[in-house]
Structure 1
Amino acid sequence: MRSIKSTLIITTFFIFFIQSSILAQELTGELKKWHKVTLSFEGPETSEQAEENPFLTYRLNVVFKHTPSGKSYQIPGYYATDGDAANSGAESGNIWRVHFSPDEIGEWTYNVDFHKGKWAAVRDSKKLKSGEFMDGLSGAFTIAPSDKSGRDFRGKGMLQYVGERYLKFQNGEYFLKCGSDAPENFLAYDKFDGNFQNDGHKDNLVKTWEAHLQDWKQGDPTWKNGKGKEIVGAINYLASKGMNAFSFLTMNIAGDDQNVFPYVDYETYDRFDSSKLDQWEIIFEHADKLGMFLHFKTLEHENQGLLDNGGTGLYTKLYFRELIARFGHHLALNWNLAEETGDWTENPPTFPIDVAERIRLAEYLSEIDPYNHHIVIHNGAWYDGLYGPNTKFTGASLQTNKEDFRNVHKSVLRILKESAEAGKIWAVACDEPGDAQHSLITDAEDPEHNDARKNGLWGAMMAGAWGTEWYFGYKHPHSDLTCQDYRSRDLFWDQGKICLDFFNNNQIPVWEMESNDALISSEGDYVLANKGETYVVYLKNGGESTLDLGSSEEEFNVSWYNPRTGGELQKGKTTTIKGPGKIQLGNPPSKKERTEDWVVLVKK
């Protein structure tokens, strides 16, 4: 009897232990390649305002390992209050969470590391104690192939810097972008949780995004019984126009807007607003499905030294760790370490980040980002000192300063040349073409957008940039701070799509091509060339020009593309040319538009 009773007790205890382990962790999400998989754990009961700060006192990491290949990722986790904060608004709870985007099919195992101690979240010390609860838990799951297609990034994989001018998805596709760089306070939306709407810091700049309520569709996400439709609609609108990128500041305390920050309030830098960040995630997850690249602008000139006086200290590390834990699983993004960075103004509001600290910040980000996302930075100070294989920067987020966009082309070329000479070519996007006062003004003021199209859009792409984003000047309606209606530039989004369509629909192998403007006879025009194979010529003012085919005696087909109206390739009177030497391309196909801008595709 005693033996049976002992066995029963042991068995009951074992079953209880197994059940407790199962109840203590939950795996959710579509178990498919490149999809968001979430592990939620029942950990210590605490709150955003707990005396023992949960955001600093605990460190949650989970190592995911792909059994067939041995590939592994260490993913940081975060405190998620009740696990449904986007809807509940909860500030307390016992749920801790990790997001992962598996990039292989088959079995993945995971092992949980949960530690506790002073500043544990940003320490690697082996002297930290176990946080108990889920520490040491392990498990496994199986990932199936992705079933997504089209624009949905979940059918393409992680967008990566691959040592070239262009970023590349894991499925082998290269990515060219066009989208909005403004408003920088995109996330200053009145339906997000938090007290920023009425905290006395530029509350007049808080947005409703009311103009885009019409763009929300049935089945699109919301929170708290229907909130979020307007900002979801704004992203829907950009995607419907063929755009594939948008940008936003994640922290502008001390900046121009002062309404966007991940914290519980304006003065606190080590406690995060869980419900607001969960609501941000709803927006970003929707963007992934629409094929919208996420440009995280993490700091700006005014607050580059706010957290740690320009250093990579406690608050800076905690800020970036939380961003990566919550949003690093997204498939197409870059981390922009600061807008207009450096010591270039007479009276900087916070201590500027010098070159050494910019490099250190990029190193820290690279250390904790398991996916090695593209790391960029704005120019305020130029990029000197940041190039080369010994830094973790992989590209530039270029800002220019001419109203007519005339220095976009040469600025892209300069960065590409300087980075290549330093030993690591950068991927360059022109994310603020134009100047601060004007840049991309409204359709009502300039329906044709000739300078923006010729010098900015095509100027960047023909230099070898991987994309553009568009800033709205502060002297105009619907500005970088006040815009709440992307339709204010509706006609220009058409032109951006026309540009992307040319390269994508005609399968232009830009990754094999180099800018070589010297090959065209007309001054100020652009050439992107893979000599002897393919040439793209941009003629700003149409007309006849000669293209230098060098020693090639091959025959090339000549087609024309209208960068103002798009459509199919067209034929002029000259349909083929043959080298060697400088050969006339002929006139554009439309007599009425011969002095307008045209694109000429010359290929074997």
Structure 2
Amino acid sequence: MVPLPITGIDENLIEQFTFRLDHDEANSIRAMLTVTFVSRQWYRMIARKTTERGKAHDPSTVVIARTNTCFGFLEVLPRSTSQIHHTRLRQLLMIQGLKNSIIIAMSYLLLASTSLQGTASDAQIEGPQSLWYPVTITFDGPQVKESPSTFRDYRMDVTFKHGSRSLTVPGYFAADGNAANTSASEGNKWRVKFTPDALGVWSYTVSFLEGRDIALSREPQDGDQGVLHGRKGQFTIEEADSGAPGFYSKGMLRYVGEHYLQFAESGEYFVKSGPGSPEDFLGYEDFDGTFDQGGSMNDKSLGEDGLHAYAPHVGDWKEGDPTWSNGKGKGIIGALNYLASVGCNTIYDIILTVNGDAANVWPWTDPVTYDIYDVSKLDQWDIVFSHMDALGINHDAYLSENENTTLLDGDLLGPLRILYFRELNARFAYHLGWRWCVGEEPHGIRPTEMRAILNYLTEIDVYDHPVGHHCSGKHELRYPVYDPQLGNPGFQCMFGQINEDYHEEVLKYVKSSAEAGHKWVVANDEPNEILPGQDHLARNSLWKVLMAGGEGLNIYVGYEIPDYTDVTIEDFRRLESIWNQVRNGLAIFQHPYVNKHLAEMTTQNQMISNGYCYTKPGEVYVVYSEHADALELDLTGAKGSYKLQWYDPIEDGEFQAGSVETINGGSVQSLGTPPGSQAEWALLVTRISG
């Protein structure tokens, strides 16, 4: 070992010597240190440390630095090794004749306080290091396997700092670091994924604690400091390339206190439509550890294994798209490619279907062991979720199904549920289009307990992803679970199931949440069934939601067609005409002029003679009517002149001029006749002067 320079002390006064600890006391960790004491009370420590994992009989070497005043000793032992009793160390030093030695027993935390500890020399940093792209940092840590102790008795958190800001996100066990491809269940790789939201230098510091059920603790100082504790490093984030795909050009989709989520980079407000079926989208044959338990619904059309293959979409996979394990995943990746190509920008799926309709999706190594997580399966899911970000598809992640609402700790925020949330948060919350739905029809959770669960999810997510839950389609069951959450800051998103009047029910919660002082994002995730060819039903359903200030609509197919149900869909093309209709409906709300005012617009149906009106009065009006040949708009309170542009919600296309191109404020105005003979039209009215 080359001694380090010691400032302010005559190096000639230092005598170095070593003694050895046997393998039981050192447990195959070699540490080399130089420690100098300036006086009996105060000391200066300069350390060089290397660690390596060797054979069980390799000893540790501890180097003692001696001055003419006193001796010092520094113990550096991760908790994962056998602990060396301090009395034994004192005895060893006494045997060496160091009767006046001062023994300092320290963990890696103290070692990290030196100028030479906490570097990123042993950390692998991956990712483009561009704004809104994830940064992946992998460390060599304890060698463990998928077991309850791995997930319960280690807690890795990483604090990222940028200027005065500080964000702490959880890390996770990553097996061999390539489990998606190797299906590894053990290893020494520990990983954190973080999505930076600002340019420039970010630093990070690792907290790595060990102890019984430490992962369940909410106290940051609980536990013993482990081998990775105190590791430090930094990276620099630059602008992303122009034309970044999907959400990478728009930024994180966040709850911002309005009735719409907003992209952090582009400022665009989000309106959505896409598949709400199959609910077991992740019940896919190419994921590790995935099999069909035999759910409550008929899935015979999927074949004997009861799993999705998405074979009709293998051809939609493109060269350069992700796969895993030597080409697996083309069906599900191709399905996402197809959905994005027809304008779908959201997907609803349940990531825990044990005991449910399909019973083929869970995050664990098996469906009955709730604290052993399947690392390779979750890494494979993560590949799919990353592709969704690149395509611009939002992920409504349902954390439970009605039948398993109380599977983890009943309806309490107990240890299994906390561990479940932690693992999902660590592995997936960095995604740009992620949102938390506590569960599908979670009526088994009492409102007070639901509030605790919602608030906990809001607390642990540093990215401001929205949190909420689903409901029953019947208002007599819906009101008792939603109404108690009005005004709760931990509830931001209503993942609705509405089987009555979509417009009135969405409007009820848009208004009541605003009146309670905390606006909700309100969507109809599970409407009445919409089957292939039912274009008008799909179109009309979406427009009723959007014109009430709702976020959008997912398409649910029910169980009427045996090979095309909520658990058996394989080919999304069978709904292509439906996708075209809902894409057309979103387009007018995605129009730049409308979108920038969206959060300020409200439903004012009394202003239109026959239809729906969504408006920021005096600025912009969106009108939808199925009887558009004789419409009047009340502009009594408005000033200036306004341009009229008709929009065909059936065929899409460009805005068109009707018989009247401009109108003036100050009175009720006739809107003339639309440019075509059909009765169903949308109309955009925008202020042009005054």
Q: Same fold (TM over 0.5)?
A: yes
Match of 2:277 in 1: 182
Q: Which residue of 1 aligns with 2:654?
A: 568
Q: Counterpart of 1:543 in 2: which secondary structure? A: helix
Aligned to 1:209: 310
**1:128 to 1:335, Cα distance in 2 relative to 1, 3 A:** same
How far did residue 22 of structure 1 move? Answer: 5.0
**What secondary structure sits across from 2:335 in the alignment?**
helix
Matched, 1:61 2:151: no
Amino acid corresponding to residue 529 of structure 1 in structure 2: T
Greater Rg over alpha carbons, structure? 2
In the alignment, what sits opposite 1:348?
none
For 2:144 and 2:417, locate their aligned partners in 1 and report how far apart those are by CA, in whole Å: 23
What is the aligned partner in structure 1 of residue 609 from structure 2?
521
Residue 142 of structure 2 corresponds to 44
1:124 aligns with 2:218: yes
Q: Deviations over 1:566-604 (max 9, x none)?
A: 11111111112224322211111113x2x2x10011222
Give yes or no for the alignment of 1:308 onto 2:409: yes
CA contact (8 A) 1:516 1:528 kept: yes
Q: Secondary structure at the match of 2:124?
A: strand
Give 2:372's aligned residue. 271
- Aligned 8 A contact 2:119 2:233 in 1: no
Alignment map for 1:124-273 (pairs within 5 Å): 124-125=218-219, 128-149=222-243, 151-171=245-265, 172-194=267-289, 196-197=290-291, 204-273=305-374
**Aligned residue identity for 1:458:** W
What's the counterpart of residue 674 of structure 2?
588
Q: Is 1:599 equivalent to 2:685 in the alignment? A: no
Q: 1:488-527 maps to which residues of 2 (within 5 A)?
A: 488-505=574-591, 507-508=593-594, 509-522=597-610, 525-527=611-613
2:244, 2:128 → 1: CA distance? Answer: 18
Does the Cα contact within 8 Å between 1:24 and 1:134 map onto a contact in 2?
no
Question: Are residues 451 and 139 of structure 1, via their aligned partners in 2, closer, same or farther at CA, if it must alter by over 3 Å?
Answer: same
Shift of 1:244: 1.1
1:480-500 C-alpha deviation (Å, 9 max, x unpaired) = 111111111101111122122
Q: Which of 460, 465, 479 is 2:545 aligned to?
A: 460
Q: Secondary structure at the match of 2:180?
A: helix
Distance in 2 between residues matched to 1:120 and 1:10, nearest whole Å: 30
Aligned partner of residue 629 in structure 2, secondary structure: coil
Give the alignment partner of residue 356 of structure 1, picking from 448, 458, 463: 448
Secondary structure of 2:587's match? Answer: helix
Alignment coverage as a number of residue pairs: 571
Task: Name the aligned partner's letter for residue 138 of structure 2.
Answer: S
Q: Distance in 2 between matches of 1:545 and 1:21?
A: 69
- Aligned-partner Cα distance in 2 for 1:90–1:575: 66
Asked if residue 418 in structure 1 is aligned to residue 512 in structure 2, the reply is yes
Q: Which moved more, 1:119-128 or 1:88-97?
A: 119-128
Q: Deviations over 1:182-232 (max 9, x none)?
A: 1100000000000x3265667753111101101100000000110000000
- Alignment partner of 1:578 is 2:664: yes
Structure-1 separation of matches of 2:555 and 2:413: 30
How many angstroms does 1:466 deviate by?
A: 2.0
* Conservation of the 8 A alpha-carbon contact between 1:58 and 1:131: no
Report deviation, 1:33.
Answer: 1.5
CA distance in 2, matches of 1:534, 1:19: 59
CA distance in 2, matches of 1:478, 1:149: 37
Which letter maps to 2:161?
Answer: K
Q: What is the DSSP-based 3-state SS (H/G/I as helix, E as strand, rest coil) of the residue aligned with 2:684?
A: strand
Q: Distance in 2 between matches of 1:316 and 1:148?
A: 41
Instruction: Give the structure-1-normalised TM-score.
Output: 0.90
Gap change, CA 1:153 and 1:506, over 3 Å in 2 = closer
* Corresponding residue SS for 2:593: coil
Taking every aligned residue pair, what percent have the same amino acid on both sides?
A: 40
Letter in 2 for 1:28: E
Instruction: Write out per-residue CA displacement over residues 25-61 of structure 1, whole angstroms, 9 at most, x where no aligned residue.
Output: 2111111111110111111111113xx6200111110
Residues 151, 505 of structure 1: CA spacing in aligned structure 2 closer, same or farther, 3 A cutoff?
Answer: farther
Unaligned runs of 5+ in 1: 343-351
State the 1:146 CA deviation.
2.0
After superposition, give the CA deviation of every residue in 1:288-341 in whole Å (9 maximum; x if it has no partner).
111111110111211111111111101111111111000000112210111112
Q: Which runs of 5+ in 2 are unaligned?
A: 4-10, 19-31, 35-45, 52-115, 473-477
How has the CA–CA distance of structure 1 residues 466 and 7 changed in structure 2, closer, same or farther, with 3 Å as cutoff? Answer: farther
CA contact 2:292–2:305 (8 Å) conserved in 1: no
1:27 aligns to what?
Answer: 125
Q: Residue in 1 aligned with 2:62?
A: none
Q: Give how far 1:20 is off.
A: 11
Kept after mapping to 1: 8 A contact 2:538/2:582? no
Tell me how far apart the structure 1 counterparts of residues 431 and 397 of structure 2 sit (CA, whole Å). 11
Structure 1 residues 128, 247: closer, same or farther in 2, change over 3 A? same
Q: What is the alpha-carbon distance in structure 2 between the residues aligned to residue 108 and residue 275 of structure 1? A: 29
Q: Judge conservation of contact 2:120–2:232 (CA < 8 Å) in 1.
A: no
1:469 CA drift (Å)? 1.6
CA contact (8 A) 1:205 1:481 kept: no
Q: Are the counterparts in 2 of residues 222 and 228 from structure 1 also a CA contact under 8 Å? A: yes
Post-superposition shift, 1:552? 3.0
Aligned to 2:530: 440
Deviation of 1:433 (Å): 2.0
The answer to whether the Cα contact below 8 Å between 2:467 and 2:490 also exists between their aligned partners in 1 is yes
| Greater CA drift, 420-429 or 78-87 | 420-429
> Which whole-Å deviations, capped at 9, do the CAs of 1:419-443 have from their partners, x for residues lacking one?
1121111111221122xxxx11013
Query: Relative to structure 1, is the Cα distance of residues 198 and 418 closer, same or farther in structure 2, using a 3 angstrom cutoff?
Result: closer
CA contact (8 A) 1:157 1:331 kept: yes
Q: Secondary structure at 1:384's aligned position in 2?
A: helix
Kept in 1: contact 2:644–2:657 (CA 8 A): yes
Q: State how far apart, in whole Å, the 2-side matches of 1:385 and 1:96 are.
A: 40
Structure 1 contact 442–478 (Cα < 8 Å) conserved: no
Query: Which residue of structure 2 aligns with residue 349 of structure 1?
Result: none
- Name the CA distance, whole Å, in 1 between partners of 2:308 and 2:555: 19
> CA 1:150 to 1:105, structure 2 compared with 1: closer, same or farther past 3 Å?
closer
The residue that corresponds to 1:384 in the other structure is 483
Shift of residue 128 of structure 1? Answer: 3.5
Cα distance change on mapping 1:198 and 1:602 into 2, 3 Å = closer
Distance 2:466 2:117 in 1: 42
Give the superposition deviation at 1:473. 1.4
Q: Render the CA deviation track for 1:375-413: whole Å, top value 9, x for unaligned.
A: 12112232111010x4400121111114xxxx1111110
Q: Do the aligned partners of residues 544 and 228 (structure 1) sit closer, same or farther apart at CA in structure 2, a change above 3 Å counting?
A: same
Q: Tell me, yes or no, if the aligned pair for 2:342 and 2:583 is still in contact at 8 Å.
A: yes
Gap change, CA 1:341 and 1:10, over 3 Å in 2: closer
Q: CA RMSD in A?
A: 2.3
